[in-house]
Chain A
Amino acid sequence: MSRTDAGAPEQVSATALTVPDRQRRGLTERLLAVRELSLLIALAALVLVTSVRNDRFLSNQSVKDLLLGCALLVILAVGQTLVIVTRNVDLSVGSILGLVAFATGSLFLAAPGTPWPVALLLGVGLGAMCGVVNGGLIAVARVPALVITLGTLYAFRGVDYYWASGRQINAADMPRSFLRLGNQTLLGVPVLFLVALVVVAAVGFYLRSYRSGRELYAIGSEPAAARLSGIPVGRRVFAVFVANGALAGLAGVLYAARFGTLDAAAGTGLELQVVAAAVVGGVAIFGGSGSAYGAALGAVLLTTIGSSLAVLRIDPFWQQAVVGALILAAIGLDRLLALRTAARLRGRSAHGA
């Protein structure tokens, strides 16, 4: 192939100038980095202020409680990130968690000798099955995921209530080895939190480094273009709902191990906290951007706000208000960035319509 046209690298095209390009990219990248950095700073400030007011906030026990408290939300927020990145949403995660938690308890009631890894696998499998229902309905009905998962939110919860029919499962019904999983620590860190860290790292790595992971961003960024690029959009979205269901199932099993006391209401209303954590963590609700790490930080931040306001003896009303303000700030920041880019684009494309 002739490379004559590749000559004169110092020749600069009329519209593609290197220098502003690099600067602009630097700005965008800095803003993205700032997003996760600012979450960390907010978190640090919150912990600092709270511990100054009450030194027990940084005691071993209290930190342990905090990590334990946010582990489930982190797992769910990371799973939700997979879904939101493709411009979808899964509102049924709280119900899946509740259903799987109750199923795990029932399993131990029916077969007390079941080793906990088997229970774990079965729980993840049941969660994945719920994800198959979600993904399948979305693929067949071609209705927005918001509506489908709003339906399955009630459907899964209904199954849960029907099954439990008012019963409660107690810690005494479950093997000790399983319950230890929920409260044990490894080098001072709760095992539950370590599991959450593994999930964050795995999903974060997948989204960043694998072709199919990048395709999820492409689907959320511009669905029509994704189809024209030959990306199997339907299959990817289906897989994402199954994966998110499996993660909700994992969270359900861990919920059973941690709390021991289970009824049909476990995890009610959790879905909104999960979406809030992802959005605060910088996952754009219209898809295409955001990371598992950001979502995990968002989950940690929301949990920490909850416990630090309690330690500071601040009215629970303010806790809700602070979460609300954080969500609005996160969305406002996204919108601001989008508007600035749009303005720049209009200013630059002086030729062409």
Chain B
Amino acid sequence: MSPDAPGADGAPLLELDAVTKSFGAVAALRGVHLALHAGEAHALVGENGAGKSTLVKVLAGAHAPDSGGMTLDGRPLELRGPADARAAGIAVIYQEPTLFPDLSVAENIFIGRQPLRGLRRIDAAAMNRDAERLFQRLGVRIDPTRPARGLSIADQQLVEIAKALSFDARVLVMDEPTAALSGVEVERLFAVARSLCERGAAVLFISHRFDEVFELCQRVTVLRDGAWVCTDRAADLSVDEVVRRMVGRDVASLYPKQEAPVRDTLLEVRGLTRAGVFADVSFTVRGGEIVALAGLVGAGRSEVARAVFGVDGYDAGEVRVAGQRLPAGRPGRAIRAGMALVPEDRRQQGLVMELSVERNATLARRRALSRLGLLLGGAERTEARHWTRRLQVKAARLGAPVATLSGGNQQKVVLAKWLATEPRVLIIDEPTRGIDVGTKSEVHRLLSELAGEGLAILMISSELPEVLGMADRVLVMHEGRLVRELSRAEADETSVMFAATGQGATA
């Protein structure tokens, strides 16, 4: 298949050819083709981690590609930084707003390009007037002189859009700009995008909302695992077709979960709500069960896990472990009640990189291991040896700093740390992110064993094969709500992806 869809008229305005980008051992983009045509809105879709955001960063000049080229108007384009991308007429609206909270709204829009008057001074009045005019075009009212600090997420996004508009961009890239916007605001944004297209600009639109993709875009490109899958006219595609192409890979039977007798309910969450983050989340996990929490990045899965464990507070609802209610915002109580959380970002939240393997493994057990407030090396060592042997941690010696281990072995140390507290409920966030395939299946075998021993496991994972292979039940979140619960038999790639993208019906 050619990267250009059939029927592409004329030469593309901006073209990416065989762009690759790796971060360490992880290939984020593998030979991606993308051709944006003047006057067209082009959608880019793909699962979590398909490489969409990396592609945006490459277009914005924030990441230099490892290989492959870019052309603008048929001429080679080299971006050495975000300033170059701006100069080339590429404007980007990022997923996360990138505003300066201390500067005024107008300054945020025009930073580095403020209108000038005599002596190259900034003409503040003209700047505020220009900002006002942009907001009028967007049909919103935001005071251009107020500081950006304190703006709601939606208003911040609107300021970003105004900023992109102010460039008179030839290429407008929008990375999930609608996540925080209401229906009316989305309509306005689309009206602006269409009018930019009419004037000959090209728009790249990234979204998980397929109704919006099909409403705005004439062409759709699908990425999967960092590689280009297909580019087609939107008119020739259906939502079903797009979802199939997003997930279309062979489901490997790599992740066998052993059948375990299901025991009593150990974790019970009722009506958990944190204003603006997630709402009315209820579920139970029983001993011997692995329950997966699936959804797209930003759906609120990790936030729910953090609230359940007590790292973050919540506004309403309750959490019970084995029938005993936990107070909100008290991780210490959760640990004593027998809960453990293996966080998503093990470098930042799970490990002290400079400390030894044994110190890390026993970090959560300091109190139980200490005598008269002193930590004795002997007790730590015995304990650490037991768990690292059970988990087959490959370390030169237990005294070696954790930073010297591979990602997979680091993850095992985090697991050892929490298993040493002998939990009844284990919450594990992205258990195998950034881990090589061999260690991955070891982690999976271990989780399965633990469930067999009667642990209740709540697993958050963005990798569909992992979810489908490991989970007894799959809970799917979409934009802060639990939208579907699928049994092992019901769950397949399509049904999970449909629920995660907010398409009510099953395929």
A interface residues with partner B (beta carbon < 8 Å): 1-9, 11-18, 21-22, 24-25, 28, 209-211, 214-215, 217-218, 220-222, 224-232, 284, 288-289, 341, 344-353
Looking at the assembled complex, report how far the CB atom of A203 sits from the nearest CB atom of chain B, in whole angstroms: 15
Q: For residue A228, which residues in chain B have a CB less than 8 angstroms away from its CB? A: 60, 62, 82, 92, 94, 98
- Do the beta carbons of A353 and B479 come within 8 Å of each other? yes
Q: What is the interface of chain B mostly: helix, strand, loop, or mixed? A: loop
- Do the beta carbons of B141 and A16 come within 8 Å of each other? yes
Option from A4, A22, A209, A215 in Cβ contact (under 8 Å) with B112: A215
Q: For residue B198, which residues in chain A have a CB less than 8 angstroms away from its CB? A: 2
- Do the beta carbons of A210 and B195 come within 8 Å of each other? no
Looking at the assembled complex, report how far the CB atom of B133 sits from the nearest CB atom of chain A, in whole angstroms: 8
Across the two chains, which residue of chain B brings its CB closest to A344? B150
Q: For residue A7, which residues in chain B have a CB less than 8 angstroms away from its CB? A: 139
Q: For residue B154, which residues in chain A have a CB less than 8 angstroms away from its CB? A: 14-15, 349, 351-352
Q: For residue B121, which residues in chain A have a CB less than 8 angstroms away from its CB? A: 209-210
Q: If the complex has contacts A16-B141, A214-B122, A350-B275, are A5 and B102 also in contact, measured as CB distance less than 8 A?
A: no
| B300 interface residue per 8 A CB criterion | yes
- Do the beta carbons of B139 and A11 come within 8 Å of each other? yes
Looking at the assembled complex, report how far the CB atom of B275 sits from the nearest CB atom of chain A, in whole angstroms: 6
In the bound complex, how far is the Cα of B81 from the Cα of A227, in angstroms? 9
Option from B100, B112, B141, B146 in Cβ contact (under 8 Å) with A230: B112
Q: For residue B72, which residues in chain A have a CB less than 8 angstroms away from its CB? A: none
B interface residues with partner A (beta carbon < 8 Å): 60-62, 81-86, 92, 94, 98-103, 107, 111-114, 116, 120-122, 136-143, 145-147, 149-155, 158, 179-182, 184-185, 188, 191-192, 195, 198-199, 275-278, 298, 300, 303, 479-480
In the bound complex, how far is the Cα of B398 from the Cα of A249, in angstroms? 53
- Do the beta carbons of A229 and B98 come within 8 Å of each other? yes
In the bound complex, how far is the Cα of B107 from the Cα of A141, in angstroms? 31
Looking at the assembled complex, report how far the CB atom of A56 sits from the nearest CB atom of chain B, in whole angstroms: 44
Across the two chains, which residue of chain B brings its CB closest to A8? B139
Q: For residue B195, which residues in chain A have a CB less than 8 angstroms away from its CB? A: 1-2, 5
In the bound complex, how far is the Cα of B192 from the Cα of A9, in angstroms? 16
- Do the beta carbons of A214 and B303 come within 8 Å of each other? no
Across the two chains, which residue of chain A brings its CB closest to B83? A230
- Do the beta carbons of B141 and A17 come within 8 Å of each other? yes
In the bound complex, how far is the Cα of B298 from the Cα of A2, in angstroms? 35
In the bound complex, how far is the Cα of B111 from the Cα of A193, in angstroms? 34
- Residue picked from B116, B122, B139, most chain A C-beta under 10 Å: B139
In the bound complex, how far is the Cα of B479 from the Cα of A275, in angstroms? 45
- Do the beta carbons of A353 and B298 come within 8 Å of each other? yes
Across the two chains, which residue of chain A brings its CB closest to B153? A352
Q: For residue B60, which residues in chain A have a CB less than 8 angstroms away from its CB? A: 228
Q: For residue A226, which residues in chain B have a CB less than 8 angstroms away from its CB? A: 100
28 contacts between A and B (CB under 8 A): A5-B138, A5-B139, A6-B137, A9-B136, A11-B139, A15-B155, A15-B185, A16-B155, A22-B143, A24-B150, A25-B146, A209-B122, A210-B120, A211-B120, A214-B103, A215-B111, A217-B100, A225-B98, A230-B83, A230-B85, A230-B86, A288-B102, A344-B150, A346-B275, A349-B180, A350-B275, A352-B152, A353-B278
Q: If the complex has contacts A21-B146, A222-B101, are A230 and B152 also in contact, measured as CB distance less than 8 A?
A: no
In the bound complex, how far is the Cα of B141 from the Cα of A17, in angstroms? 6
Across the two chains, which residue of chain A brings its CB closest to B276? A349
Q: For residue B62, which residues in chain A have a CB less than 8 angstroms away from its CB? A: 227-228
Looking at the assembled complex, report how far the CB atom of B38 sits from the nearest CB atom of chain A, in whole angstroms: 16
Q: If the complex has contacts A1-B199, A22-B143, A24-B146, are A353 and B100 also in contact, measured as CB distance less than 8 A?
A: no
